[in-house]
């Protein structure tokens, strides 16, 4: 992954007058793991020196910060990082572990604009995995997947989160529930607090409905218990140990509506209903939440999504309108409203809605796609073409990219 870094040119002969004495890495010993995405090692060394840090050639006990290169594949073993003593030091807070993007952001040298073409919106991620958009949204709300950045409440996910989402999908296909996966991941995060995204940064494996961490020659349960790995070549033949199964599913008792008190409790209850595919139950909770605490842009948006899934297009339209009235920069609500208006045959209103979304977030790839498709369907190909091209520039690897290329070919 290529990062956009300010002032990428470095010189070994740079004057010491340029040293940053107020840097967050001043005096720290830093080791990089894996291939960097933004610069080579010589450039990184010079940058660290300017910030009065010391770049180490390898991870040893003197290191206090480990940076995972942006081009490290998330599914690899990452053996350097996962040495037992490094994991233990990280769990105890003696070593911090962050990714390359976070490191450059801490130093204040990453450009604020994101290279969106390398990331996926929730709708794109859903299309890529063949899952309902509502499922991706629930995983995000539960913290099962973490966006790289949010623009006007719109989440963007990187390739690491795509890999995490695939793993979660395999777990759920095996019969696990989102609630139990969330519990297991929370426990892993508790074991290793310096790792912000366990599914990406640790060697987490999916085995049936089990979620396990590979450490050294063994496997660890989310609770911290060691589990015997009979596939390990280090095990001696003839051992009497029995493998203990820790199923990922754990019973979750439903909370009666009358016992819900705080907004967070209402939200968790609604998401639980959604996980059980009980849209009516979730709708009831969101309506009760609005009555108790007043409508919010987020709850209105979530209610609109459920009403749309139930086929209540007029109801969804009004709730999307309310979400936008409460937060005019809520670009995802504008995009969804535009799609509903298209289905209702309100094409001119849909065009205005999509243009309104782009006014708040000009690089929203989904909206360029929706707008181009609508203009094509209205026999306005000349107006559609720049939006098709912009979409391909923003999201060349989108699951919708082939349709955009075919439309451009047909128009030409």
Q: 154 lies in a domain?
A: yes
Q: 133 lies in a domain?
A: yes
The predicted pLDDT at position 255 comes to 66
CA distance 272 to 252: 9
The predicted pLDDT at position 411 comes to 66
Quick count: other Cβ atoms within 10 Å of Cβ 359? Answer: 12
Q: 205 lies in a domain?
A: yes
Residue 34 sits in the same domain as residue 122: no
More reliable by pLDDT, 148 or 225: 148
Residue 78 sits in the same domain as residue 21: yes
Structure confidence at residue 112 as a pLDDT band (50, 70, 90): very low
pLDDT digits (tens, 9 = 90+) for 339-391: 999 999 999 999 999 999 999 999 999 999 999 999 999 999 999 999 999 99
H or E stretch at 97:
strand 96-99
Residue 178 sits in the same domain as residue 84: no
Residue 149 sits in the same domain as residue 219: yes
Length of the chain counted residue by residue: 412
Going 381 to 383 to 384 to 390, the CA torsion angle's sign is: positive
Q: 209 lies in a domain?
A: yes
Contacts of 73 (CB under 8 A, 6+ apart): none
More reliable by pLDDT, 141 or 295: 295
The predicted pLDDT at position 251 comes to 44
Residue 174 sits in the same domain as residue 86: no
Q: At 147, phi and psi to the nearest 5?
A: -70, 150
Range from 52-56, 215-219, 396-400 carrying the lowest mean pLDDT: 215-219
Range from 1-10, 147-156, 265-274, 342-351 carrying the lowest mean pLDDT: 1-10
Q: 323 lies in a domain?
A: no
Q: What is the mean pLDDT of residues 223-239?
A: 40
Range from 6-15, 267-276, 329-338, 349-358 carrying the lowest mean pLDDT: 6-15
Residue 125 sits in the same domain as residue 150: yes
Residue linked to tokens 């299309």: 127
Is the predicted pLDDT of residue 323 greater than 50, yes or no? yes
Range from 43-57, 251-265, 275-289 carrying the lowest mean pLDDT: 251-265
CA 270 distance to own-chain centroid: 21
Share of the chain above pLDDT 90, in %: 33
Residue 83 sits in the same domain as residue 183: no
Q: What is the mean pLDDT of residues 19-35?
A: 79
CA distance 198 to 190: 10
CA distance 93 to 86: 10
- Helix count (H) and strand count (E) of the chain? 17, 10
Range from 146-150, 277-281, 374-378 carrying the lowest mean pLDDT: 146-150
Is the predicted pLDDT of residue 226 greater than 50, yes or no? no
Average pLDDT, the chain: 76
The predicted pLDDT at position 327 comes to 94
> Hey, what are 164's tokens?
């995490």
Q: Domains in the chain: how many in total?
A: 3
The predicted pLDDT at position 309 comes to 92
Question: pTM here?
Answer: 0.61
Residue 218 sits in the same domain as residue 123: yes
More reliable by pLDDT, 148 or 195: 148
Range(s) of the domain holding residue 218:
116-227
Q: 335 lies in a domain?
A: no
Is the predicted pLDDT of residue 282 greater than 90, yes or no? yes
Q: 186 lies in a domain?
A: yes
Contacts of 270 (CB under 8 A, 6+ apart): 282, 285, 286, 289, 302
The predicted pLDDT at position 244 comes to 30
Is the predicted pLDDT of residue 212 greater than 60, yes or no? no
CA distance 71 to 6: 19
Residue 100 sits in the same domain as residue 43: yes
Domain edge (last residue) among 175, 201, 227: 227
Q: Which CATH number covers residue 90?
A: 3.40.50.10190
Residue 21 sits in the same domain as residue 84: yes
CA distance 45 to 30: 10
Residue 122 sits in the same domain as residue 102: no
Q: Which CATH number covers residue 130?
A: 1.10.1660.10
Is the predicted pLDDT of residue 305 greater than 80, yes or no? yes
Domain edge (last residue) among 227, 246, 265: 227
Residue 51 sits in the same domain as residue 99: yes
pLDDT digits (tens, 9 = 90+) for 63-96: 988 887 765 544 344 444 557 787 777 777 788 8
Domain edge (last residue) among 227, 251, 274: 227
pLDDT digits (tens, 9 = 90+) for 328-351: 999 999 999 999 999 999 999 999
Q: What is the mean pLDDT of residues 163-177?
A: 78
Is the predicted pLDDT of residue 211 greater than 60, yes or no? no
Q: What is the mean pLDDT of residues 128-144?
A: 86
Is the predicted pLDDT of residue 284 greater than 50, yes or no? yes
More reliable by pLDDT, 323 or 203: 323
Is the predicted pLDDT of residue 109 greater than 70, yes or no? no
Structure confidence at residue 46 as a pLDDT band (50, 70, 90): confident
Nearest to 90 by CA among 6, 180, 195, 199: 195
Q: 122 lies in a domain?
A: yes
More reliable by pLDDT, 284 or 252: 284
Going from the C-alpha of 342 to that of each of 2, 178, 367, 378, the distances in angstroms are 37, 32, 13, 11
Q: What is the mean pLDDT of residues 140-158?
A: 84
């Amino acid at each position: 992954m290529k990062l956009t870094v300010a002032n990428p040119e470095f010189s070994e002969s740079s004057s010491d007058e340029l040293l940053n004495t107020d840097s967050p890495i001043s005096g720290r010993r830093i080791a990089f793991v894996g291939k960097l995405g933004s610069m080579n090692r010589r450039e990184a060394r010079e940058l660290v020196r300017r910030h009065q840090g010391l770049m180490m050639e390898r991870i040893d006990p003197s290191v206090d910060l480990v940076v995972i290169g942006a081009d490290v594949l998330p599914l690899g073993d990452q053996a350097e990082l996962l040495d037992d003593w490094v994991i233990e030091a990280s769990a105890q807070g003696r070593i911090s572990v962050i990714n390359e993007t976070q490191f450059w952001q801490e130093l204040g040298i990453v450009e604020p604009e994101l290279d969106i073409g390398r990331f996926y919106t929730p709708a794109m991620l859903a299309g890529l995995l063949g899952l309902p958009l509502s499922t991706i949204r629930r995983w995000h709300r539960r913290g099962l997947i973490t966006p790289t950045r949010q623009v006007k409440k719109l989440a963007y996910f990187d390739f690491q989160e795509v890999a995490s989402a695939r793993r979660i999908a395999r777990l759920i296909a095996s019969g696990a529930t989102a609630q139990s996966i969330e519990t297991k991941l929370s426990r892993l995060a508790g074991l290793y607090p310096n790792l912000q995204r366990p599914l990406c940064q640790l060697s987490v494996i999916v085995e049936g409905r089990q979620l396990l961490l590979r450490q050294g020659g063994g496997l660890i349960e989310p609770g911290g218990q060691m589990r015997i790995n009979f596939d390990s070549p280090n095990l001696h033949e003839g051992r009497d140990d029995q493998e203990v199964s820790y199923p990922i599913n754990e019973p979750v008792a439903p909370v009666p509506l009358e016992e819900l008190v705080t907004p967070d409790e209402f939200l968790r209850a609604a998401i639980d209903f959604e996980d059980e595919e009980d849209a009516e139950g979730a709708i009831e909770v969101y309506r009760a939440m609005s009555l108790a605490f007043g409508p919010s842009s987020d709850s209105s948006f979530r209610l609109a999504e459920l009403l749309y899934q139930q086929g209540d297009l007029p109801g969804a339209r009004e709730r999307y309108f309310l979400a936008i009235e409460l937060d005019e920069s809520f670009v995802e609500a504008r995009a969804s409203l535009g799609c509903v208006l298209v289905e209702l045959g309100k094409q001119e209103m849909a065009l205005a809605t999509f243009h309104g979304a782009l006014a708040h977030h000009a690089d929203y790839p989904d909206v360029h796609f929706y707008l181009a498709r609508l203009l094509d369907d209205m026999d306005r190909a000349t107006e559609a073409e720049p939006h098709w091209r912009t979409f391909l520039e923003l999201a060349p690897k989108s699951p919708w990219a082939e349709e955009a290329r075919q439309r451009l070919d047909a128009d030409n």
